[in-house]
Amino acid sequence: MVIKLLKSIALITIITCSLKAQQVNIIPYPASINIMHGQFTFDKNTKIVLVNDIHNTNQKEVVLFNDWLNNYFGYKLTTSNKIKQNENTIQITAINSESEKYELNIQGNTIKIKALGEGLKNAFESLKQLIVLNNKQNSSTIPCLFINDSATFKWRGMHLDVCRHFFTKEEVKRYIDYISMYKMNTFHWHLTDDQGWRIEIKKYPKLTEIGGWRKGSMVGHYSEHTFDTLHYGGFYTQDDIKEVVAYAQTKHVTIVPEIEMPGHAMAALAAYPNYACTEGPFEVQKQWGVFEDVFCPKPETFRFLEDVLTEVMALFPGEYIHIGGDECPKTRWKTCSHCQALIKSEGLKDEHELQSYFIKHISNFLSKHHKKLIGWDEILEGGIASNAAIMSWRGEEGGIAAAKEKHYAVMTPGAYCYFDHYQGHPTQEPVAFGGYTPLEKVYEYNPIPHALKEEEKKYILGAQGNVWAEYLPHFNHVEYTAFPRIAALSEVLWTPAEQKNLNGFLQRIQGHFKFLDLYRINYSKSIYNINYEIRIDSTEKASLYLNNILFERNITSHNDSIVYQLSENAALQKYTNPVSITQSTQGRAFFYRNGEALGKDCNFKFFKNKATSKKVNFVEPPSKYYNKGNLTDGLLGHSPRINSEWLAWSGKNMDAVIDLIHDTEINTINVGFLKNEDDWIYLPSYVEIMISSNGKDFTSVSTKPVISQELNRYNYLFKIDKQKVRFVKIIAQCAPVIPEGRNGAGNNAWLFVDEIQAD
């Protein structure tokens, strides 16, 4: 076992060296680092000397470091409190007070560390990476350097949803290891939701007896609406929680437990229906989503929630308790006599102020017990409770509004921090929630919004990566979706902005993969995935462009190439220049390094037709948010969607005219639409095809498509029977305002279109 590991470590060294790293390979990159001449040889003869460790605080970290060495290298270092000359020594001097800071000074035959507790843990995390990535056989040759390191942000967090899928306490501990190894310090444990209540509450045993279990789960993507019938669930006993909390403390990670209210409460209401507005009965939900039955703000509900929070506060020593507050439909409150009477008696304007009343009540309760409330940004609506902190997830606006009102905020905007999004093209990646958040996007995030004034910036505590588990049935899926994005986020939060460098990070992360291999972490290699694009020039010639982030940023080595094949039986070719495409093609491409394909295969399909490359004019331009797509590039959009493949209109019709340039015989017109009503995207209510020879006088030729479906993409096929046409007009009428009872009720529907084909 150890021999096998050592072999893989030897390989690591070769690969790291070949990456021509400009930087020492440590993630997150230190705040300050000077690389010096010389090397330190780290091996089993290295000694540890502890200086001034009055309360044995550093001794505890040394024990953990030695356990780590033993685990991965099969030896421990001897410890003493006396320095001997001519021995390779790690000399650890305790500083006055504990913090995340540390100094690591590697020179000659001494590694000098100045730190205490958490800081020493962080020094060891840096050292572990240096040991592993510089290891050859039985020793590591570490460059001499001086690191003076501290964190940029205070809240360096990762979230884990254990409700949509349940993870054992051992898996949760591993997750805490991962948080700690990147010098992050906060674990947001999402413990209750519609699909399961996961924390034992002694006073209300049915919360876990009933609320901890459901009668089936969704399989495939939400849009497929299919379920299994398996009894599914699990929960943590209070002893489990205590064990995890104690473990997290040894790793210097604070746990922020989340108990959702007033919405996302179906599992609780399945157990105790009397805390809803209506009588129930309710079920623990199999489906992911937002549910209308929520807690009713009755005195008995508040008593119940306070009892629950009392037990929660006793288990979690951190200062914050997360109370959710997101996605609480007001439907039941609008027709509940108690809720309506409360709105009147409290002089509230509406149900939004009732939500605020609810949160303020809970916030006051937590304050009395010296805890602070944090909630998702919806708790701003109707007025924020004093002392409450905001977790900004619907973009950055919540965090900006909170900071402007002098409330603390943690940034978790979906576009950067939701690690349930795809990290590569959906066709190349396991099913995920949706969205597209590749590694480089996470890396480039800056938690301080531009909109904040200097004096408001201090209210941004930091940021957090969210791992919602709808599509993560097993812990190895959690690893895949979190890694390596967690590494990028750690650098966003730890490393000063002026030290951040995307190219440097993309090079370091490839060496770092070997560190993850040593830990047997199931990480994504999507940085190697190939993207494709068809570009059409002024002479209507189509060319295939292949790329990936490493080529795009010019950080490949001579051993790297993109290899492609234009059809299943065609020869594999090395990509050097854009490839001319003259006919419909179904090919593939992949990244190739030193005889090995890395990342996932990229499969591309190009549909050449009479509309390909022809100009499209719109009466009403598409929304500025979704205007990247090209309707005549011969490429179909995918579902789940990548926004750049689609054009979209909100509450407006698409009125498009294609100029085919010459009179052209056309038999069929195909138009592709997306349907994803949960995301407010509806099929058009009506589509009409018109033709013209002069671009002014149009004749209607069809309003009756044959509709076929592939996942959420709907193809509308119009037969128009050998017409000679020059101009084709497509009018697609956007669906009406979203009806009551649906996601986004009262808002304009969206119309998404990906392609128009003429044959």
Residues forming the site for ligand ACM (CB under 6 A) = 326-327, 376, 393
CA distance 291 to 524: 33
735's contact among ligand ACM, Zn ion, none, with CB below 5 to 8 A by partner kind, is none
Q: Which residues bind Zn ion (CB under 5 A)?
A: 277, 296, 336, 338-339
CA 411 to chain CA centroid, Å, is 13
Work out the angle at residue 313's Cα, subtended by the Cα atoms of residues 312 and 319, and round it to the nearest 5 degrees: 130
759, 594, 752, 575: which is closest to 674 by C-alpha? 752
Of the two residues 60 and 338, which places its CB atom closer to Zn ion in the complex? 338
Angle between helices 2-18 and 57-73 (to 10 degrees): 100
CB of 741 to ligand ACM, least distance (A): 19
The residue of the chain with the least Cβ separation from ligand ACM equals 326
The least distance separating ligand ACM from the CB of residue 324, rounded to whole angstroms, comes to 8
- Kindly tell me which of 62 and 486 has the beta carbon lying closer to ligand ACM: 486
Compute the distance between CA of residue 302 and CA of residue 396 in angstroms, rounded to an integer: 31
Name which of 637 and 640 has its Cβ closer to ligand ACM.
640
What is the C-alpha separation between 622 and 248, in angstroms, rounded? 49
- The single-letter code of the amino acid at 265 is A
Mutual orientation of helices 118-133 and 502-518 as an angle, nearest 10°?
A: 90
Catalytic (active site) residue 659: no
- Find the shortest distance in angstroms from Cβ 414 to ligand ACM: 7
Which residue's CB is nearer to Zn ion, number 295 or number 513?
295
Choose from ligand ACM, Zn ion, none: what does 353 bind? Cβ within 5-8 Å by kind. none
Dihedral in degrees, nearest 10, Cα atoms 221, 224, 227, 228 = -70
Choosing among Zn ion, ligand ACM, none, which partner's interface includes residue 339 (Cβ < 5 to 8 Å by kind)? Zn ion
Whole-number minimum distance, CB 190 to ligand ACM, in Å? 9
Residue 521 CB neighbours (<10 A): 20
Q: Which of 193, 456, 470, 645 is catalytic?
A: 193
Give the residue ranges of DSSP H helices in 19-99.
Answer: 57-73
Catalytic residue among 188, 264, 322, 477: 264
Q: How far is the CB of 432 from Zn ion (least distance, A)?
A: 36
Q: Report, in Å, the least distance between residue 303 CB and Zn ion.
A: 15
Nearer to ligand ACM, 333 or 376 (CB): 376
Q: Which two tokens stand for residue 33?
A: 């680092």
Asked if 728 and 666 count as a contact pair (C-beta separation under 8 A), the reply is: yes
Q: Least distance from C-beta 270 to ligand ACM, angstroms?
A: 20
Residues found in the chain? 759
328 or 728, CB closer to ligand ACM?
Answer: 328
| Residue whose CB is less far from Zn ion, 181 or 328 | 328
| Annotation marks residue 43 as catalytic | no
SS3 readout for 689-746: EEEECCCCCCEEEECCCEEEEECCEEEEEEEEEEEEEEEEEEEEECCCCCCCCCCCCC
Beta strand 706-710 with 596-606 is unpaired
Q: From its phi and psi, is residue 487 left (phi > 0), alpha (psi between -120 and 50) or beta?
A: alpha
Give the residue with the Cβ less far from Zn ion, 330 or 719: 330
Partner from ligand ACM, Zn ion, none contacting 646, C-beta within 5 to 8 A by type: none
Cβ 369 to ligand ACM shortest distance, Å: 24
Task: Decide which of ligand ACM, Zn ion, none touches 336; Cβ closer than 5 to 8 Å per partner kind.
Answer: Zn ion
Q: State in angstroms the smallest separation of the CB of 466 from ligand ACM.
A: 7
Residue 297 C-beta: closest distance to Zn ion, Å = 7
A 10 A CB-CB count for 682 gives 22
Which of 306, 326, 327, 381 is the catalytic position? 327
What ranges make up the beta strands (E) of 468-530?
none
Pick one of Zn ion, ligand ACM, none as the site partner of residue 327 (Cβ within 5 to 8 A by kind): ligand ACM
* Tokens read off for 491: 């650098």
* Contacts with 604 (C-beta within 8 Å, 6 or more apart), sequence order: 532, 544, 585, 586, 587, 588, 589, 635
Q: Which does 132 bind (CB under 5 to 8 A by kind): ligand ACM, Zn ion, none?
A: none
Residues in Cβ contact with 591 at an 8 Å cutoff, skipping those fewer than 6 apart? 528, 529, 530, 548, 550, 560, 561, 562, 563, 597, 598, 599
133 and 519 in contact (C-beta within 8 Å)?
no
Which entry of Zn ion, ligand ACM, none binds 296, CB below 5 to 8 A by partner kind?
A: Zn ion
CB-wise, 374 or 486, nearer to ligand ACM? 374
Q: Which residues contact 313 (CB under 8 A, 6 or more apart)?
A: 321, 366, 369, 371
Question: φ and ψ at 354, to 5 degrees?
Answer: -70, -40
Active site residue 369: no
Task: Rank residues 27 and 296 by Cβ distance to Zn ion and give the closer one.
Answer: 296
Residue located via tokens 């689609």: 646
Q: Catalytic residue numbers?
A: 193, 264, 327
